[in-house]
Amino acid sequence: MLRMPRLFPSLLVARSRTRTAASWRTPISCIILAVLFLSSSGAASSAAAQKALHIFFVDVEGGQATLFVTPAGQSLLIDTGWPGNDGRDADRIVAAAKKAGIRKIDYVVITHFHSDHVGGLPQLAARIPIGTVIDHGDNRESTDAPTVQGWQAYQELLAAKKFKRLTVKPGDSLPISSTSVDGLQATAVSADGAVIDHPLPGAGQENASCNNTEAYPADQTENVRSVGTLITFGKLRILDLGDLTRDKETELVCPRNKLGAIDIYIVSHHGWSQSSSPALLNAIAPRVAIMDNGANKGGTPSVWDIIEKSPRLENLWQLHYSDEGGAAHNVAAEFIANPEGPDAGNYLELTAWPNGRFDVWNPRAAKRIHYPAR
Ligand SMILES: [Zn+2]
């Protein structure tokens, strides 16, 4: 689709060289010139589009599935949604991959082994080739039956050599960094209950909001094991912490902010109250937050308030209207992919350029906002 405008003007140029100078004065030649000009403009804009990073926020009804496709066509999927439902979530991820023009997912990060994150993996692997799955290590929550089932299904896929496995620890670069030729880098900032022990480059500032931080209870589930990823693309910084809980957030941003400022925050834990502490939001101060909540999962009013009050926020976008949030704790309908009513699986898409500018697009509402570079 994007290549057409590049070929078209070159064909016209080849033909035009056979014409005499006088023939340019004919109306038909003027039309050709106009088409040539317009097509050249198209070529320029398509060249710009090709330098973009595309991120699809797939609606998996309160789980996570976020697909990154680099300008060079490398892909990274963070989580795979739920099991069951006749492969609903896998189908939605494959539909996003088709929109992005890819036929394979190079890397899948499984943040942790809860079924709203790893559950869709077998159905996804049956529908599209997967290169490598990245995890935090073995499942640590053996008392929860759905979690154990998700872990076992993952083991079966590995035994069947459906993909390679890579376990990361905090500070590791994800391999997409080494294969990507277009400036995208991904670093694990948390994994298996540990976090980075040094600030990332440019970070390390004291975080004043730590003085008022509550002592959060230590989470005992897989949530606290989440692989958190910081993605940089040119000047842009994007943060995804899976379902990391507030106790680990505190280790990441107190007393010094090891993460630095973030442009795009993929809201942890679907916007549930166990994550997104004030200390985190004041430290990362995102320009845009995108919340993968369901109608009845995540989107907690207290978290919604913390995000909305964070110091640099320009917009919060939601994958769903939150029933719990009601009129006071939901963004305007045009910022919500799936409003009240029967679910339609609508997605949000973010397009980013290396100079730091980006667009967020809500196809359901035909709403696009452009965020200029800062
Ligand atoms: Zn979750």
Higher-confidence residue of 93 and 374: namely 93
Using CA atoms, how far apart are residues 30 and 22, in angstroms rounded to an integer?
12
Q: Work out the angle at residue 121's Cα, subtended by the Cα atoms of residues 117 and 122, and round it to the nearest 5 degrees.
A: 145
Note whether 100 and 69 are within 8 A (CB): yes
For the segment 260-303, what is each residue's pLDDT rounded down to a tens digit?
999 999 999 999 999 999 999 999 999 999 999 999 999 999 99
Using CA atoms, how far apart are residues 212 and 99, in angstroms rounded to an integer?
45
Residue 63 CA to ligand 1 centre (angstroms):
5
Note whether 349 and 365 are within 8 A (CB): no
Residue 115 CA to ligand 1 centre (angstroms):
8
Residue 3 CA to ligand 1 centre (angstroms):
39
Note whether 192 and 169 are within 8 A (CB): yes
Pairing of strands 53-57, 66-69: antiparallel
3-class secondary structure, 20: coil
Q: Which tokens is 333 given?
A: 């309908």
Residue 65 CA to ligand 1 centre (angstroms):
10
Residue 193 is predicted with a pLDDT of 97
Rounded to 10 degrees, the C-alpha dihedral 301/302/305/307 comes to -100
Residue 241 CA to ligand 1 centre (angstroms):
11
Residue 183 is predicted with a pLDDT of 82
- How many CB atoms within 10 Å of residue 157? 19
Residues with Cβ–ion distance below 5 A, ligand 1: 116, 243
Residue 270 CA to ligand 1 centre (angstroms):
6
Average pLDDT, the chain: 89
Share of the chain above pLDDT 70, in %: 87
Note whether 368 and 360 are within 8 A (CB): yes
For the segment 137-179, what is each residue's pLDDT rounded down to a tens digit?
999 999 999 999 999 999 999 999 999 999 999 999 999 977 7
Higher-confidence residue of 9 and 177: namely 177
Residue 44 CA to ligand 1 centre (angstroms):
41
Name the phi and psi angles at 120, rounded to 5.
-85, 0
pLDDT at 35 over 90: no
Using CA atoms, how far apart are residues 46 and 215, in angstroms rounded to an integer?
51
Residue 217 CA to ligand 1 centre (angstroms):
18
Name the phi and psi angles at 373, rounded to 5.
-60, 145
Residue 286 CA to ligand 1 centre (angstroms):
21
Confidence of residue 16 (pLDDT cuts 50, 70, 90): very low
pLDDT at 126 over 90: yes
Q: Say which amino acid occupies 72.
A: A
Q: Nearest Cα to 292, choosing from 55, 57, 56?
A: 57
Residue 51 is predicted with a pLDDT of 86
DSSP string, 139-182: ---TT-HHHHHHHHHHHHHHHTTSSEEEE--TTPBPTHHHH-SS
Using CA atoms, how far apart are residues 93 and 76, in angstroms rounded to an integer?
12
**Total residues found in the chain within this entry:** 374
Q: Which tokens is 35 given?
A: 């088409």
Using CA atoms, how far apart are residues 317 and 360, in angstroms rounded to an integer?
9
Residue 211 is predicted with a pLDDT of 86
pLDDT at 188 over 60: yes
For the segment 95-121, what is each residue's pLDDT rounded down to a tens digit?
999 999 999 999 999 999 999 999 999
Residue 48 is predicted with a pLDDT of 46
pLDDT at 36 over 80: no
DSSP string, 290-331: EE--BTTBS--HHHHHHHHTSTT--EEEEEE--TTTTGGGS-
- Strand residues in the chain grouped as ranges (E): 53-57, 66-69, 75-78, 105-109, 130-135, 164-167, 184-191, 194-195, 205-206, 228-233, 236-240, 256-257, 264-266, 288-291, 315-320, 336-338, 348-352, 358-362, 367-371
Residue 50 is predicted with a pLDDT of 54
